[in-house]
């Protein structure tokens, strides 16, 4: 007795949260359909479950994310010296390979005519690279400072830091959202 398409559909992983990519879902469905066509699916669903597990085990998802979310508790900066907004210190070493670093911030700056500055470090604060200088047109503007760059990682433990500062210490920089995503590209 073989597994029907309806039974197979009931076995597919729940993807309402969007955790599984469309390509991975197609791979899972195709593996299960192949089992059905070859008559290998059995009534106890063992073969279909093994097919799903095999497809999912062959996929590697290697990413880390850290930051402050838009929870109503923003980071307030009143300094003309750089202040750490958020950081991600990965205890496990990452393999050598191609990654993507995504940094996103949304903020308000209480004045016009002066700028908010952002910088990041990928080596735990030993060195920094500026990535954004924004000047609001209006004190109520909600601005975005972001950076998406490919990174050739040479191995080791990544430690990313985002810092921000005001141009003048009498100004107020309000960071409503900040995130760092370090994702392996395969």
Q: Do 17 and 106 have their domain in common?
A: no
pLDDT given at position 78: 92
Same domain for 31 and 72, yes or no, is no
The CA–CA distances, whole Å, from 29 to 19, 32, 148 equal 16, 5, 33
Both 146 and 71 in one domain: the answer is yes
Domain count, the chain: 2
Check residue 43 and give its pLDDT: 46
Over its length of 186 residues, how does the chain's per-residue pLDDT go in tens digits?
A: 344 555 555 555 555 545 556 566 666 666 666 665 555 554 445 555 566 566 555 555 555 666 665 556 788 999 999 999 888 887 777 788 888 888 888 899 998 889 999 999 988 999 999 988 888 888 788 888 888 888 888 888 888 999 999 999 999 999 988 888 888 876
pLDDT at residue 31, rounded to an integer: 66
Q: Are residues 177 and 123 in the same domain?
A: yes
State which residues form the domain around 110: 63-184
> E strands of the chain, at which residues?
63-68, 75-77, 83-89, 97-109, 116-121, 129-134, 143-153, 159-166, 173-184
Is there a single domain that holds both residue 67 and residue 54? no
Is 68 in the same domain as 158? Answer: yes
């Amino acid at each position: 007795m073989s597994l029907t398409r309806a039974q197979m559909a009931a076995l597919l992983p729940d993807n309402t949260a969007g955790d599984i990519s469309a390509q991975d879902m197609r791979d899972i469905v195709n593996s299960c359909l192949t089992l059905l066509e070859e008559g290998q699916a059995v009534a106890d669903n063992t073969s279909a479950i093994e097919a799903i597990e095999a497809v999912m085990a062959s996929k590697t998802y290697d990413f880390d994310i850290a930051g402050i979310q838009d929870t109503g508790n923003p980071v307030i900066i009143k300094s003309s010296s750089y202040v750490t907004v958020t950081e991600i210190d990965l205890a496990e070493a990452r393999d050598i390979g191609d990654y993507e670093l995504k940094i996103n911030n949304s903020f308000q700056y209480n004045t016009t005519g002066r700028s908010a500055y952002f910088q990041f470090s990928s080596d735990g604060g030993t060195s920094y690279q500026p990535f954004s200088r924004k000047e609001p047109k209006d004190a109520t503007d909600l601005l975005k400072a972001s950076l998406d760059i490919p990174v050739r990682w040479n191995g080791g433990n990544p430690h990313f830091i985002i810092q921000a500062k005001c141009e003048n210490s009498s100004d107020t920089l309000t960071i409503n959202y900040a995130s760092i995503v370090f994702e392996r590209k395969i």
